[in-house]
Structure 1
Amino acid sequence: MHKVIFKTIALLSGAFLSLVLAAQPYPNKPISLVVPQAAGGTNDIVARLIAPAFGDAIGGSVVVENRPGAGGNIGTQSVARSTKDGYTLLLTINSAQAINPALYKNPGFDPVNDFVPLYYIGATPYVLVSPPGSPYKTLADVIAAAKKKPGELSYASAGNGTISHLLGAMLNTSAGVDMQHIPYKGVAPAINDVLGGQVPLAFASLPSALNYIKAGKLQAIAISSAKRSSAAPEIPTIAETYPDCVGEVWVALFAPNGTPPDVVKKIQLAMDKLMAKPDVREKLIAQGLDLNPVPPAKLSGLLKDELAKWAKIVRASGAQLD
């Protein structure tokens, strides 16, 4: 009898606590900012730069949580299936959100219907790099070597189907060469093997490679944007030689579809506030991000355009993962 009473009291107490928490203004507990890639990549760098300012702006604590695996599918899927209360958000990149649906037979999420676009933060190019002392100092050097020995020159990427992989495939097509792709589980191990001389070249996002370039530990050959980056204007673009070879990584914030509209609005206002801070903007720009704003309504359209664009490139590359 006493056990039944105690159990009933515990259930009622739990229910009461849930009602009290629900009645409190958002946020009343830590917000998890999920990065579906390993540490060291573009969105991880961005997440750790903005998290403190995001917490200040929204009036709560924000914790960055890396959930890597399956090219970003595991972390993305976990957010899609999370409670739709604004306490689990996705800070992702277009390689996961716009490429994986074409690359994987079943990525485990619907990029359009499972998420609410919250905020576009910025975009950055990839950079083709080589180690110091390498004979590959310019894009002309790379292409000449690739033509001289077809199929022998290799480049590293952050993984199968990532933009860093597909940019190599695009360059192969544009230049009429056959460089071999070596996929890694993230950009950090790819860069490490270039630094160690295990692989001669790599495509890496500019934020992940810029400190190595500035320190003289990597040689920057060319970047993948349509125009030169303000963070490193001395690096030529691939498009200066091959105009159709362009691809950037953008970083954006999403919530699970079904998140209350008032919570969505509060998050967006907090992001407006933190992105207006000069110190935050300076840090992001210094990492190589272009901060041109894209309103939430247009972010949805951008995502749909990117899904169509990259689906064609994935098909042309022949890449497919289970």
Structure 2
Amino acid sequence: MTTRRQFTQLLAALVPTGLAPLAQAQATKPVPMPDVAKIISGFPAGGTVDVLARRVADKMRGHYAGTVLVENKPGAGGQIGILALRDSPADGTNLLLTPSSMLSIYPYTYPKLRYTLEELAPVSLGATIDHGLAVGPGVPDSVQTFKDFLAWAAANPDKANFGSPGAGSMPHMVGVLLGQMAKADLRHIAYRGTVPGVQDLLGGQISAFWGPIGDDLQYVRAGKLRVLAIAGPTRSVFLPQVPTLAELGYPLRVREWYGFFLPGKATPETVKRASEGVQAALAQPDLVEYGKQYGLEIKPSSAAELAQMLKADADQWRGLIKQTGFTAES
């Protein structure tokens, strides 16, 4: 088990030392292109993580490896995918695409987490995405604002609930923090990813869902869902009409990112080659345009930049989670 102090020390050490060889790497022996590589996703097919993984795999095929596949390993709020990467060969044939929650939040909410940051090697940022609170047919049409939703939830305590892609995920934590700030008693319902949660929202089985807005967009456009608030520091370019929580009077500004990783034992040369391959794929203009359909702002980065983002996120969430007193066993 990794303690909070150990996790923080690891992140602090990762940026100045652990990734230093990446900037210095002058590979004396080129890493050969493998016949087959795969990108692991810890979430079901159809969600925004899976969508991005498959598009990047298409762009890397024939350049990074002869064939690049996507392997879905859903479960435990994305943890199964991380464990699958950790236990895979560190030769560059296995990458992971994961949301930041599993790395910057879980170490502070799961007292018996089965992996550490040392077992992952940052490769490149993939994209950023905002989380929003969506309501569906389980809530009356008269509920058009977040204030309306709070009033309706208070009047209907048996229906006052919200789903999220997993216990301890960023959308879940946003819901917990917001409930405390708004003094609202909202029951949480955890799902194995966004897709099944949104399906239950559309079916009226749950009243609301905190999750990536990319999974809501097609249903918002069709008039089947309404997004009432955004958790990001600014309004989303994809839903500019939706206010942020900060605008509504709740001082919470968080935005999720998706990042690519290799097993922690990967050599600097292997990490360098993977980072260059992922960045080249993400730089393709048609991929950038494709991401917009799913609320994804495509943003490739160096391995060192991704490590810096992880450290900053962990610092922010350590304080926020301490504020809630929340653990995954709560």
TM range (shorter): 0.7 to 0.9
Task: Report the residue type matching 1:319 in the other structure.
Answer: T
- Give the partner amino acid of 2:129: T
Matched, 1:320 2:328: yes
Counterpart check, 1:163 vs 2:170: yes
**Aligned equivalents of 2:108, 2:225: Cα separation in 1:** 32
Unaligned runs of 5+ in 1: 1-22
Q: Could you say if the C-alpha distance between residues 263 and 100 of structure 1 is closer, same or farther in structure 2, counting changes exceeding 3 Å?
A: same
Match of 2:110 among 93, 104, 110: 104
DSSP 3-state at the match of 1:90: strand
Worse-superposed segment, 267-276 or 251-260: 267-276
Q: In structure 2, do the counterparts of structure 1 residues 293 and 276 end up closer, same or farther at CA, with 3 Å as the change threshold?
A: closer
Residue 271 (structure 1) aligned with residue 278 (structure 2): yes
Structure 2 residue corresponding to 1:252, chosen from 247, 250, 259? 259
Equivalent-residue separation in structure 2 for 1:272 and 1:134 (angstroms): 43
Distance 1:118 1:287, change over 3 A: same
Give the one of 93, 114, 117 matched to 2:119: 114
Q: Which has the larger radius of gyration?
A: 1
RMSD of aligned Cα (Å): 2.2
Letter paired with 2:328? Q
In structure 2, do the counterparts of structure 1 residues 25 and 320 end up closer, same or farther at CA, with 3 Å as the change threshold? closer
Q: 1:262 aligns with which of 266, 269, 274?
A: 269
Q: Is the 8 A contact 1:57 1:271 kept in 2?
A: no
Structure 1 residue 150 displacement after superposition: 6.1
The answer for the alignment partner of 2:33 in structure 1 is: 27
So what's the TM-score if we normalise by structure 2?
A: 0.83
Partner of 2:290: 283
- Match for residue 68 of structure 1 among 52, 74, 85: 74
Q: After the TM superposition, which of the residue ranges 125-134 and 59-68 deviates more from structure 2?
A: 125-134
Unaligned runs of 5+ in 2: 1-28
Q: Deviation per CA, 1:152-172: give whole Å up to 9, x if none.
A: 511111121111211111111
210-219 or 146-155, larger mean C-alpha shift: 146-155
Count, aligned residues: 299
Q: How does 1:1-322 map to 2 (within 5 A)?
A: 26-111=32-117, 113-132=118-137, 133-148=140-155, 153-315=160-322, 316-321=324-329
Deviation string 1:108-130 (CA, Å, 9 cap, x unpaired) is 1112x111110001211111111
Please, which moves more after superposition, 262-271 or 154-163? 262-271
- For residues 320 and 279 of structure 1, the distance between their equivalents in structure 2, rounded to whole angstroms, comes to 39
Conserved? CA contact 1:41–1:205, under 8 Å = no
Q: Which residue of 1 aligns with 2:26?
A: none
Question: Distance in 2 between the 1:263 and 1:250 partners?
Answer: 23
Q: CA contact under 8 A between 2:100 and 2:256: conserved in structure 1?
A: yes
Displacement over 4 Å in runs of 4+: 147-152
3-state SS of the aligned residue for 1:251? strand
Asked if the contact 1:129/1:218 (under 8 Å) is kept, the reply is: yes
CA distance in 2 between partners of 1:171 and 1:243 (Å): 7
Distance 2:243 2:60 in 1: 34
**1:274-307 deviation per Cα after TM superposition (whole angstroms, max 9, x unaligned):** 2221101111133212334543212112212222
CA distance, structure 2, for counterparts of residue 288 and residue 67 of structure 1:
23
TM-score, with length taken from structure 1: 0.85
Q: Secondary structure at the match of 1:182?
A: strand
Q: Deviations over 1:297-318 (max 9, x none)?
A: 1211221222232233334152
Provide the C-alpha distance between the structure 1 equivalents of 2:297 and 2:31, rounded to a whole number of angstroms: 34
